[in-house]
């Protein structure tokens, strides 16, 4: 299911994440998109796939709230989201991770919106 508005990118993302569908996650990124993983850029779909495969294997459950979506007339938008990830590791112990994300998405020729830049750990202060 394509994201037809900037904020729908978050909806489609969290659905794919919670289903453990790495291919659907990667399909939300432009071919040369950048995902910041542990402070380092994962550039391109192959690197992004590997980053998500490692995370999906942990079988977490995510909740994602879009805090803002600001679109320009030229087909770019900035998203901010607040997320919570429940991780069941080690088994039986569980752990909760939270964060704020900042993403740049772009409208594609077919009308779908895809990630160009994805920073899941927006700093709270600089």
pLDDT tens-digit series, residues 9-68: 999 999 999 999 999 999 999 999 999 998 899 999 999 999 999 888 878 899 999 999
Cα separation, 3 vs 29, whole angstroms: 11
Look at residue 90 in the predicted model and tell me its pLDDT. 66
Cα separation, 108 vs 31, whole angstroms: 12
Cα separation, 53 vs 71, whole angstroms: 30
Residue ranges covered by each domain of the chain: 8-119
Cα separation, 38 vs 43, whole angstroms: 13
* CATH architecture of structural domain 8-119: Roll (3.10)
Q: What is the pTM of this model?
A: 0.91
Cα separation, 92 vs 12, whole angstroms: 29
């Amino acid at each position: 299911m394509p994201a037809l508005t900037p904020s729908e990118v978050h909806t489609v993302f969290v659905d794919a994440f919670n289903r453990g569908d790495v291919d659907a996650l990667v399909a939300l990124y432009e071919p040369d998109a950048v995902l910041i993983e542990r402070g380092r850029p994962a550039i391109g779909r192959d690197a992004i796939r590997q980053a998500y495969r490692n995370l999906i294997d942990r079988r977490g459950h995510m909740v994602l709230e879009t805090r803002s979506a600001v679109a320009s007339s030229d087909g770019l938008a900035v998203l901010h989201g607040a997320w919570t990830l429940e991780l069941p590791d080690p088994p039986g112990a569980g752990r909760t991770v939270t964060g704020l994300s900042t993403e740049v998405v772009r409208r594609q020729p077919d009308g779908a919106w895809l990630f160009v830049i994805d920073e899941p750990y927006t700093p709270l202060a600089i």
